[in-house]
Structure 1
Amino acid sequence: MTTRLQLSFPRQFARTQRFTLGAPRAFTVSPDGSRVVFLRSASGTDRAGRLWVLDLDSEARRPQERLAADPGALTGGAEERLSAQERARRERSREGSAGIVGYAVDQAVELAAFTLSGRLFAAELRAGTARELPVPGPVIDPRPSPDGRHIAYVARGALRVTGAEGEEDRALAEPDDEHTTYGLAEFIAAEEMDRSRGFWWAPESDRLLVARVDEREVRRWWISDPAHPDREPEQVAYPAAGTPNAQVRLYLVTLDGERREVGWDRSRYPYLARVHWSAAGAPLLLVQSRDQRTQLYLAVDTETGVTRTVHVDEDRVWLDLFPGVPAWAPDGRLVRIADEGGARVLAVGDRALTGGQLQLRAVLDIGESDVLVSAAAGEEATDPEIGEIHVYRVNELGIERVSEGPGVHSAVRSGRITVLASSRTEVSGASVQVLREGKPVATVASYAERPVLTARVRLCEAGALRIPCGVLLPEGYQESDGPLPVLMDPYGGPHGQRVFAAQNPYLTSQWFADQGFAVIVADGRGTPGRSPGWEKAIKDNFPLTLDDQIEALHALAGAFPLDLGRVGIRGWSYGGYLAAMAVLRRPDVFHAAVAGAPVSDLRMYDTHYTERYLGDPAERPEAYAANSLVTEDGLTALENPARPLMIIHGLADDNVVAAHTLRLSSALLAAGRAHEVLPLSGVTHMTPQEQIAENLLLLQVDFLKRSLPRR
């Protein structure tokens, strides 16, 4: 009899892709309430997503799961091969799994379409059969028409449509040249606007709205792999701050290929941020000005392509985008999320249905009599719930919380059926319940692995600003062990909340704590989840996020065993920028840093993100100088005492390109500053590879122990 050795946490963390494999996700509920469709791999270490159906009205009189599509069976077990465009789409969505990673359905949720290795497949969800359709490839983003008779998709930059059986395949819109595509989201939409789509079916299934993207004016960058000098560098169109964006137009295209352009003032409102088309009203667009201080809600006349303004939002700082909105309510009123009176509220028509007690995050579903939303406690809440996110039903009569108990909850709903996923601090992963009219009728099993450690996080607020924090100490720590070296473990910037009332977000932090550190995760100003003013306080002032890390650290020193003479910080992306800035600008507080993929020169980051916070670099060069690490203002920090700094960067990163780290390293070298650089050949911004993900954790803890020795 053999005994299976328990994996170390770093190996398990890497092998399970952060414990996401085997967990059910991407739920869709059929309008008749009979089926729930979802993705799930076969185990907690299997990367290949499978398509599943949960029959709620089965002949067995109890819910039954069945497999609707198995990628291994459909491809004969062949190795997955992805086109460059598909790899880029997955990088934008941070998708690291394989097999079926996404799908789309018709209105009745009877037909699903998906791709495997660039080939088009369709699954009959009632019958449980799946088949390949013979169409030109590589196929990207297939989507059935609402009536289920056609499937539209993109191949080689052209929008194409085929019958549901693969018949009468044809191109509806073909690219004019190598610079244009139809039906795809441009880089800036997918990376920063959370818009991954480039075409939308009409409810009647007779036409589509199709985005035409022209990248000829976007500057070209080259991503090379120095470990393979025989390979040509990859060319990418990257819109850095202050440089031209892709030109995006929108067309109404019939199934016969007739085309009519949708008109709006694209010079004033170049960003196509959202498109919504439902039976409740005309196609609805949300377009933004380049400075993101003004946005228009536009209704489209489907006969002429002319648009009319339904609503205008303006903000002196910036306007945020939210999932699920804008949209029409069934009675024709506009549903949106807005910043009003210092609160982030749900507005239906001319009326705000929520106030400062909630911080709206997303609209999940719009029903006949209510709106289902995701929200956190707002600043006016009487009993703040640190790190909690709940699901609420909202209408003119009031607000009702659907989710129960402390935790992070999300939901998908159609008609009477709600799929509620709940994560909590005391258990790993998420539990998934299926509710019919609010009453549990089924659960969806998770095959995700159970972590070999348990995060023991203490949630609290720190300092006068009441900064949300999670604090983790080593397992078995006793007061007699004395003060511990501190590791700040933030993201700390826009769109990057880290303090959640859930177990899995703290697993890596707990592992670092078990190596002998007191770990602090702090969400200061600029992070989401609290109030518009909290997020927008960092306008022109990213170093404010460092000030809040310091305030949290010092405020917690009286309540936890923190050795303020040994303080390290680690982070990735914005967190990497924050970590590097910590040891360069505040070496009096921070004694070592691990900076992963840091944005060292903000002039080299993209337009929609960077200009939102700092403006146009040609008009406001002083803002970029003050916030970047390698501009003249940033380099004045090199006069400070040197602290150990490890910089890590994937050389294949097309989001935060490796030039950020190379420029920072050159500046440090020119100043005679010792530092370590760890280049990762062939690695992108995600670092999904198992061995790399595992060894990165081990190398970081080794560096921190060397840099923060016992006194």
Structure 2
Amino acid sequence: MIHPFKTFQTFGLAAGLLFSAAPAAVLLPAAPAVAQQRQNITLEDLWVKGTFAARSVQGFNWMRDGRYYSALDKGEVVQHDVTTGQATQTLVSSQQLRPAGAEQPISVDGYEFNADEQKMLFSTATEPIYRRSTRANYFVYDRAAQKLLPLSSGGKQSYATFSPDGRRVAFMRQNNMYVVDLQTMQETPITTDGQINKLIHGGGDWVYEEEFEVSRAFKWSPDSKQLAYISFDESRVPEYNLQEWGPLYPKDYRYKYPKAGEPNSIVTVSVYDVEGKRTTKMDIGSETDQYIPRLMWTQTPGLLSIQRTNRLQNKLELLHGNTATGKTDVVWTDTDKAYVDVTDDLRYLKNGKQFVVTSERDGYRHIYLFDMKGKLVQQLTKGAWEVSEFVGVDEAKGQAYYLSAEASPLQRHLYRVDLKGKNKTRLGEAGNGTDVVNMSPDFRYYLNYHSAADEPQTVSLRNGQDGKLVKVLEDNAKLKQRMQEYGFVPQETFSFKTSEGVTLNGCTIKPATMEAGKKYPVLTFLYGGPGSQKVLDKWNSVDYYTWFQMLAQQGYVVAIVDNRGTGGRGAEFKKCTYAQMGKLETIDQGEAVKYLGAQPWADKGRIGIFGWSYGGYLAALAMTKNADLYKAGISVAPVTNWRYYDTIYSERYLKTPQDNAAGYDDNSPVQFANLLKGKYLLVHGTGDDNVHFQNSVAFTDALVKANKDFEQLYYPNRNHGIYGGNTRLHLFRQMTNFLLQNL
């Protein structure tokens, strides 16, 4: 999935910028007078001082008895009482995390307990690789013996994970799988033939990690006797070459990246028997051009759960496999005329007889209960609204918890329903906004992160049965006061009907004071990709929301409209862009501009557009196909031809280029470069491992051939997120100046 906040260690921290080597002053017009004195928002507030960064609760882990949770506090693990939020004891002090012979304790990046909470895994010196993958030095801490030991001396490890009984730890290193016996600290290799850019055991390849969110590709069995893992044979996947700029001769970084229509990794599933030290290969079918996006264990010993989808991703199958023989059976199938989303919603009940899963088979994502043979027992939720997240099942009480958009497509709230599909209850306080929850394992309590469009998050502990408040852990009161001091203005939500009869949702951020009869320039912002949503009653990130507040202080109206193809409104609205990405989205954004331009406060001759990633792609299309509607536009890290993007994402929404060439070519901005009229800024990081710099090179070439004037910024060695050091400050200064000069 293309997204602007992406981690790529190799190219993420290098210095050096082109086109604007010296810091430039932000060209700001005089701020209009307001009724109350306010402070002006600056880019330094966003990118240097962190003036508007919301506080949260970090390092939170539920303890197994449900009465306590633990959290990191100044490098120590501290236990807190759930009912009061007060610290009750320090579980591990910083001095206890000092390795033998070391002068200083380790700097803790993360930690986890084993099942009985007597042992802990600590990670330190963590190196991000891609978006979700990391390598780190892991240490094992025995609480009873108060002893800290390195997990391995053979180099940094990835995805270290306790076995459920706490006797072993499995991890991946250099594409091979290992198990460490914690009684003897003996390390046993499970595989030995892993090789960089050829064969991976136990960790996702680039495209699985990016699109299926698979980094750790192994799972311990509930009885700790077996370890299931996926292997990725990348040998036939074409390599992509990134160059790291800086030395006299740039360095090459080559990695496997399957572009649309190209070969994928061939995957296999194996199960390793820890005591017998033997491996069984599971039968996942004779077809090799397929995906295995999820692997988990059922509640039945020796029964593995494997999810399989075809390359076009319009058929998802659930396989149950006997790990003694490797034999598998398809027990459940979900199909769609467009595509079936892969989720983490599958749950096997402890009774060993049923599983719960979500599906869009009735037009909206809902929760279903099946028996182990795939026979429907009960549809638990139903209606013209989306289940956005399945939280889990409290089997003791026979209740399922989930987040949904039932109250409004723009909101998310926590609900509970019984396993007969009855007695649905909304938990928490009535009102608007969006809730994100972290439920305790026993469902007695949950951590609630509540926010609204103009309200930073409040983190609270709540009762899992009635949703009543136990304690507020973070209210962000200082940030709310700071927002008042800086004169933040509320978002205004609206909806309108297009000429095609489609209702679209949007919101605006306007200057605090608007003179009657005065026309204001409008900047439209979008992402617009399949299933995404930007128009939400939710506190947005500092990156965009606060910048929009700054622009409003300078006399701009910022408008956001979610086009067809976005989420929260059912499968038909989301999937209508299938096989023709960019077409309906561009039409809808054009309709939005016409609607906004007709407002009495809008200067329809001064409308601009800004987008990043998929939004950068749509901004490029808008500036060409809808050239007469926009005075200026900014595309950051855009896809300009879906043939350049990866297999899983591109083919999910467009089929393969071999099957749907027109879907790839008819809405590529490269094809419409000759239509550009307005002022245009194109931005990309040369170290973008996700949306390759190649995309902007191709569009640049097309614009030059069409003899079009435009501006360009490229950031050496920066990834898809374009950050590190002063990078974001520099980028947003350039974008601000561009808008002030051209819009």
Specify the TM-score bucket, using the shorter chain as the normaliser.
0.7 to 0.9
In structure 1, the residue matched to 2:290 is: 270
Instruction: Among all aligned residue pairs of Structure 1 and Structure 2, give the percentage whose two residues are the same amino acid.
Output: 24
Change (3 A) 1:30 1:61: closer
Cα distance in 2, alignment partners of residues 522 and 394 from structure 1: 33
1:394 matches 2:417:
yes
Change (3 A) 1:676 1:250: same
In structure 2, the residue matched to 1:603 is: 643
* Letter of the 1:592 counterpart: A
In structure 1, the residue matched to 2:66 is: 33
SS state of the match for residue 699, structure 1?
A: helix
1:107 matches 2:80:
no
Cα distance in 2, alignment partners of residues 79 and 539 from structure 1: 53
Change (3 A) 1:166 1:707: farther
* Letter of the 1:593 counterpart: G
Q: Contact 2:417 / 2:423 at 8 angstroms: preserved in 1?
A: yes
Instruction: Write out per-residue CA displacement over residues 109-164 of structure 1, whole angstroms, 9 at most, x where no aligned residue.
Output: 55442422221123568999865434322111111111112111111111111134
Cα distance in 2, alignment partners of residues 608 and 211 from structure 1: 17
Change (3 A) 1:138 1:19: farther
Q: Contact 2:43 / 2:729 at 8 angstroms: preserved in 1?
A: yes
Q: Contact 2:194 / 2:201 at 8 angstroms: preserved in 1?
A: no
Q: Contact 1:181 / 1:213 at 8 angstroms: preserved in 2?
A: yes
TM-score, normalised relative to structure 1: 0.86
CA displacement at 1:51 relative to structure 2: 6.9
**Which shifted more, 552-561 or 678-687?**
552-561
In structure 1, the residue matched to 2:508 is: 471
Change (3 A) 1:71 1:510: farther
Instruction: Write out per-residue CA displacement over residues 194-225 of structure 1, whole angstroms, 9 at most, x where no aligned residue.
Output: 22321101101111111111111110010113
Q: Contact 1:22 / 1:448 at 8 angstroms: preserved in 2?
A: no
1:676 matches 2:702:
no
Cα distance in 2, alignment partners of residues 77 and 513 from structure 1: 52
SS state of the match for residue 591, structure 2?
A: helix
The one of 556, 570, 579 equivalent to 1:517 is: 556
Change (3 A) 1:114 1:273: farther
Cα distance in 1, alignment partners of residues 51 and 159 from structure 2: 26
Across the aligned residues of Structure 1 and Structure 2, the Cα RMSD in angstroms comes to: 3.1
Cα distance in 2, alignment partners of residues 617 and 71 from structure 1: 58
Instruction: Write out per-residue CA displacement over residues 622-659 of structure 1, whole angstroms, 9 at most, x where no aligned residue.
Output: 221112222xxx2xx23435221111101110000101
In structure 1, the residue matched to 2:23 is: none
Q: Residues 59-208 of structure 1 correspond to what in structure 2 (within 5 A)?
A: 64=88, 66=90, 68=92, 102-117=110-125, 118-123=136-141, 132-164=150-182, 167-178=185-196, 179-208=198-227
Change (3 A) 1:62 1:619: closer
Cα distance in 1, alignment partners of residues 594 and 392 from structure 2: 43
* Letter of the 2:201 counterpart: Y
CA displacement at 1:354 relative to structure 2: 1.1
In structure 2, the residue matched to 1:428 is: 456
Q: Residues 247-266 of structure 1 correspond to what in structure 2 (within 5 A)?
A: 247-256=266-275, 257-265=277-285
* Letter of the 2:540 counterpart: N
Unaligned runs of 5+ in 2: 1-38, 126-135, 371-375
In structure 2, the residue matched to 1:649 is: 684
Instruction: Write out per-residue CA displacement over residues 46-97 of structure 1, whole angstroms, 9 at most, x where no aligned residue.
Output: xxxx574443279x995547575769975989999xxxxxxxxxxxxxxxxx
**Which shifted more, 293-302 or 68-77?**
68-77
SS state of the match for residue 609, structure 2?
A: strand
The one of 376, 379, 387 equivalent to 2:405 is: 376
Aligned residues: 665
The one of 345, 352, 357 equivalent to 2:379 is: 352
Cα distance in 2, alignment partners of residues 38 and 150 from structure 1: 24
In structure 1, the residue matched to 2:538 is: 502
The one of 14, 31, 44 equivalent to 2:47 is: 14
In structure 1, the residue matched to 2:6 is: none
In structure 1, the residue matched to 2:519 is: 483
Unaligned runs of 5+ in 1: 1-5, 43-49, 81-98, 378-383
* Letter of the 1:409 counterpart: D
* Letter of the 2:281 counterpart: E
In structure 2, the residue matched to 1:706 is: 741
Cα distance in 2, alignment partners of residues 16 and 338 from structure 1: 44
Cα distance in 1, alignment partners of residues 124 and 517 from structure 2: 54
CA displacement at 1:571 relative to structure 2: 0.8
Change (3 A) 1:461 1:403: farther
Cα distance in 2, alignment partners of residues 481 and 330 from structure 1: 68
* Letter of the 1:700 counterpart: M
* Letter of the 1:496 counterpart: S
Q: Contact 1:540 / 1:613 at 8 angstroms: preserved in 2?
A: yes
CA displacement at 1:265 relative to structure 2: 1.5
1:561 matches 2:601:
yes
* Letter of the 1:175 counterpart: D
In structure 2, the residue matched to 1:230 is: 249
CA displacement at 1:455 relative to structure 2: 5.1
The one of 293, 302, 310 equivalent to 1:289 is: 310
Change (3 A) 1:240 1:361: same
Q: Contact 2:122 / 2:138 at 8 angstroms: preserved in 1?
A: yes
Q: Contact 2:69 / 2:82 at 8 angstroms: preserved in 1?
A: no
Q: Contact 2:530 / 2:565 at 8 angstroms: preserved in 1?
A: yes
TM-score, normalised relative to structure 2: 0.83
In structure 1, the residue matched to 2:584 is: 544
CA displacement at 1:590 relative to structure 2: 1.4
Cα distance in 2, alignment partners of residues 266 and 294 from structure 1: 16
Q: Residues 404-443 of structure 1 correspond to what in structure 2 (within 5 A)?
A: 404=429, 405-413=431-439, 414-415=441-442, 416-435=444-463, 437-438=465-466, 439-443=468-472
Q: Contact 1:431 / 1:446 at 8 angstroms: preserved in 2?
A: yes
Higher RCO, 1 vs 2 (CA within 8 Å, ≥6 residues apart): 2
Change (3 A) 1:8 1:508: closer
CA displacement at 1:352 relative to structure 2: 1.5
The one of 403, 411, 417 equivalent to 2:428 is: 403
**Which shifted more, 401-410 or 170-179?**
170-179
Q: Contact 2:684 / 2:714 at 8 angstroms: preserved in 1?
A: yes
CA displacement at 1:269 relative to structure 2: 6.5
Cα distance in 2, alignment partners of residues 680 and 61 from structure 1: 45
Q: Contact 1:345 / 1:360 at 8 angstroms: preserved in 2?
A: yes
SS state of the match for residue 516, structure 2?
A: helix
Instruction: Write out per-residue CA displacement over residues 250-304 of structure 1, whole angstroms, 9 at most, x where no aligned residue.
Output: 1101224310011112516621111222536732121110001111011121211
The one of 386, 392, 407 equivalent to 1:365 is: 392
Change (3 A) 1:596 1:38: farther
Instruction: Write out per-residue CA displacement over residues 387-422 of structure 1, whole angstroms, 9 at most, x where no aligned residue.
Output: 211111122223211233311112122112222221
SS state of the match for residue 669, structure 1?
A: helix
* Letter of the 2:81 counterpart: L
Change (3 A) 1:228 1:315: same
SS state of the match for residue 210, structure 2?
A: helix
Q: Contact 1:403 / 1:409 at 8 angstroms: preserved in 2?
A: no
* Letter of the 2:64 counterpart: P
Cα distance in 2, alignment partners of residues 241 and 169 from structure 1: 40
CA displacement at 1:39 relative to structure 2: 6.0
CA displacement at 1:24 relative to structure 2: 2.3
SS state of the match for residue 185, structure 1?
A: coil
1:343 matches 2:364:
yes
SS state of the match for residue 173, structure 1?
A: coil
CA displacement at 1:472 relative to structure 2: 0.4
* Letter of the 2:572 counterpart: G
* Letter of the 1:310 counterpart: V
* Letter of the 2:68 counterpart: R
**Which shifted more, 427-436 or 233-242?**
427-436
Q: Contact 1:386 / 1:459 at 8 angstroms: preserved in 2?
A: no
In structure 1, the residue matched to 2:408 is: 385
